[in-house]
Chain A
Amino acid sequence: QITLKESGPTLVKPTQTLTLTCTFSGFLLSTSGAGVGWIRQPPGKALEWLALIYWNDDKQYSPSLRSRLTITKDTSEKQVVLTVTNMDPVDTGTYYCAHKLPLAFDIWGQGTMVTVSS
């Protein structure tokens, strides 16, 4: 059974860097084809894909946020980390990590709410 869980701060100040950790079980990120993505959702708004990392360390980023995002993996610890620099109040929302099928995200974490406020 695949599970994922996000963790990180619930409150960050503007201009700070957000670091979120996705801890997963039930699959190996070292397996060919495996991937973990990050998606966020502002309150009451639609989903927005942020980043994705593959088993071979290939990384993909949303073009609109590429300069602020970094995704890394720790295969042995079964974790994927997302950092977002220069946080702004518009970055407030729920951040999800998800297991990636070849062309969709089949299992999602419960999400973690992040508020950006001074």
Chain B
Amino acid sequence: EIVLTQSPGTLSLSPGERATLSCRASQRVSSTYLAWYQQKPAQAPRLLIYGASTRATGIPDRFSGSGSATDFTLTISRLEPEDFAVYYCQHYGDSSMYTFGQGTKLEIK
């Protein structure tokens, strides 16, 4: 079973700064099956990125995804006030199972 470990647990930044969030898989995975979600308090998650680097419909281009094998990154180029939220990576893998990471909280510094 693949485990996704996200780091850091909490990231404190200011609007306008660049955010880099990490998602590490416990074994090599295909980038095709890696997605990122954003979740704000009391809201459902929102799909940001799928296939490791493809933005979902309506997602601003300040959000970008990259990576391969075991290391994946979500980058927010210039933080807007509405970007402060919790971010999850997710993988679809062996045994037709969907796995989520434990999340990274992006908070205002």
Which of A's residues lie within 8 Å of B, judged by CB?
37, 39, 46-49, 52, 60, 62-63, 96, 101, 103-111
Q: Which residue of the partner chain, among B1, B46, B92, B101, contacts A63 with CB atoms under 8 Å?
A: B1
Which of B's residues lie within 8 Å of A, judged by CB?
1, 32-33, 35, 37, 39, 44-47, 50-51, 56-57, 88, 90, 92, 95-103
Would B47 and A103 count as touching, CB distance under 8 A?
no
Would B98 and A49 count as touching, CB distance under 8 A?
yes
When distances are taken between beta carbons in the complex, the residues of chain B under 8 Å from A62 are 97
Would B88 and A46 count as touching, CB distance under 8 A?
yes
Given contact pairs A46-B103, A47-B100, a sample of 16 additional A-B residue pairs in the complex whose CB atoms are under 8 Å apart: A37-B98, A39-B98, A49-B99, A63-B1, A101-B47, A103-B33, A104-B56, A104-B92, A105-B35, A105-B37, A105-B45, A105-B90, A106-B56, A107-B47, A108-B46, A109-B44
- Listed A/B pairs (10) with beta-carbon separation below 8 Å: A37-B98, A39-B98, A47-B45, A49-B99, A103-B35, A104-B35, A105-B47, A106-B47, A108-B46, A110-B44
